[in-house]
């Protein structure tokens, strides 16, 4: 049975929603950008027209001629009304020119678009709002040319026509809007990620509560028949005091019933804070190994159990739960060994490494495929046909949540075997 616990549908839905919102936001942002860019081009064209009007040499020529006429008229005592009107018109034209200069060309509050004005040879005549680039105007021309088509200014008439070109960049608003979709996408991804993480946390909590409820109910249901079996065993002994074979069988049955009682106690402790004691793990590990060796003939397997568990170190453990965790790992290792293995063995070693006590459980079994290494400790995951996928997940919970340790796959090679490692902190 290979059950995939992550909800792929939820992941696909969330990713699709994120892509849909990001796509809609990007399209709307592009439409908004295009509209603002059209408005900015219209503003630059207006500025260019004002600049063209202001620097048109014909205005200077008219002004100089009028000034000459005015100076000549001053030499005559009688001034005709027609000539006076010409002087007033010249003054009016000068006022218009000053208005264009002061109200359109010079003000910075109308628009803050970077602009460079060049002549036909590319010589820079004027620039504004380019200080933030920290580049020379000549270097910015190619960048501005790649962004927008330049606006042409025509000065003079006929054979005296001169052309100038206005290159412009992007206003700060346009630059901000270009990056806005990425910022929005990041925020949406963060929110969806937080939402998904919260959902997963709630789901795991519900699953955990379900498993806890099931284990406690199982422990409760086992209690009554176990007490009854103890009574029947005592009756069997009383009626067969002289039959050694029957007494021996009763003793073995009692051992198994005692073990079932221990398992029921393990189940009952799941979900509650277990009591930890400062103990040496060697006797507990040795007890598990002895039990598994005695049961191997019934499993139809001949596996050599190698052990190097001698240690005097003590760690804070709960005997029943720690025994359960070690038993799960050893049983898992034995199940991974099939009859075709030339040298079937399970090795258990205890090593001290600094402030950690390491317990390595190695087997010569089939190994674990790399793609399953991150899945094997998840509840419900199993590669066995009849597996429930609970043994390793319970082991991980017992070691990491109750004993503040770690359990992980140290090494696994397909066809050669696997090494599981338990790491427990030594008491300082």
Residues 244-275: tens digit of each pLDDT: 888 888 888 888 888 788 777 767 766 667 78
* 217/277 same-domain check: no
Give dist(CA 87, CA 82) in Å, integer: 9
What pLDDT shows up at residue 58? 60
User: Half-sphere exposure of 319 toward its Cβ, with a 13 Å CA cutoff?
Assistant: 10
197 and 244 together in one domain = yes
Region 151-156: what's the mean pLDDT?
Answer: 81
CB 324: neighbour CB atoms within 10 A? Answer: 22
The distance in angstroms from the start CA to the end CA of the chain is 43
- Examine residue 194 and state whether it is found in any structural domain, yes or no: yes
**Domain co-membership, 180 together with 283:** no
pLDDT at 274: 78
The total number of structural domains that make up the chain: 2
Give the three-class secondary structure for 276: coil
Same domain, 316 and 212: no
Does 370 map to a domain? yes
Range of the domain at 218: 176-251
Residue 93: its pLDDT value, please? 55
Asked if 363 and 329 count as a contact pair (C-beta separation under 8 A), the reply is: no
Tell me the CATH number at 411: 3.30.565.10
Runs of H (alpha helix) within 56-136: 57-73, 81-100
More reliable by pLDDT, 100 or 72: 72
Is there a contact between 154 and 161 (Cβ–Cβ < 8 Å)?
Answer: yes
Distance CA 175, CA 198 (A): 35
């Amino acid at each position: 049975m290979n059950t995939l616990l992550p909800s792929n549908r939820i992941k696909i839905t969330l990713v699709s929603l994120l892509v849909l919102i990001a796509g809609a936001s990007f399209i709307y942002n592009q439409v908004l950008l295009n509209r603002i860019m059209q408005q900015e081009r219209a503003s630059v064209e207006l500025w260019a027209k004002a600049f063209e009007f202001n620097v048109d040499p014909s205005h200077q020529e008219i002004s100089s001629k009028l000034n000459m006429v005015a100076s000549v008229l001053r030499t005559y005592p009688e001034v005709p009304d027609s000539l006076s009107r010409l002087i007033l018109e010249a003054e009016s034209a000068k006022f218009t020119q000053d208005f264009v200069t002061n109200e359109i060309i010079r003000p910075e509050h109308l628009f803050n678009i970077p602009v460079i004005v060049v002549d036909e040879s590319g010589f820079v005549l004027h620039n504004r709002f380019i200080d933030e680039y920290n580049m020379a105007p000549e270097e910015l021309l190619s960048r501005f040319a790649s962004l927008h088509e330049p606006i042409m200014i025509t000065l003079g008439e006929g054979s005296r026509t001169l052309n100038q070109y206005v290159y412009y960049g992007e206003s700060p608003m346009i630059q901000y809007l270009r990056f806005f979709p990425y910022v929005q996408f990041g925020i949406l991804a963060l929110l969806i990620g937080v939402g998904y993480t919260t959902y997963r946390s709630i789901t795991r909590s519900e699953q955990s509560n379900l498993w806890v409820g099931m284990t406690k109910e199982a422990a409760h249901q086992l209690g009554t028949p176990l007490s009854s079996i103890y009574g029947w065993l005592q009756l069997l002994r009383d009626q067969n005091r002289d039959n050694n074979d029957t007494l021996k069988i009763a003793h073995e049955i009692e051992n198994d019933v005692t073990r079932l009682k221990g398992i029921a106690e393990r189940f009952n402790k799941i979900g509650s804070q277990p009591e930890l004691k400062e103990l040496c793990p060697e006797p507990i590990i040795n007890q598990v190994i002895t039990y598994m060796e005695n049961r191997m003939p019934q499993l139809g397997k001949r596996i050599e159990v190698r052990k190097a568990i001698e240690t005097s170190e003590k760690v804070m453990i709960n005997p029943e739960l720690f025994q359960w965790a070690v038993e799960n790992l050893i049983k898992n290792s034995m199940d991974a060994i099939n009859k075709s293995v030339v040298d079937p063995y399970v090795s258990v070693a205890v090593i001290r490494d600094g402030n950690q006590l390491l317990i390595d459980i190695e087997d010569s079994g089939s190994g674990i495929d790399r793609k399953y290494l991150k899945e094997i400790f998840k509840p419900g995951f199993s590669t066995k046909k009849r597996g429930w996928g609970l043994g390793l997940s319970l082991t991980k919970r017992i070691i990491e949540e109750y004993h503040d340790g770690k359990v992980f796959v140290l090494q696994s090679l397909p066809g050669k075997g696997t090494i599981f490692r338990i790491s427990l902190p030594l008491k300082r």
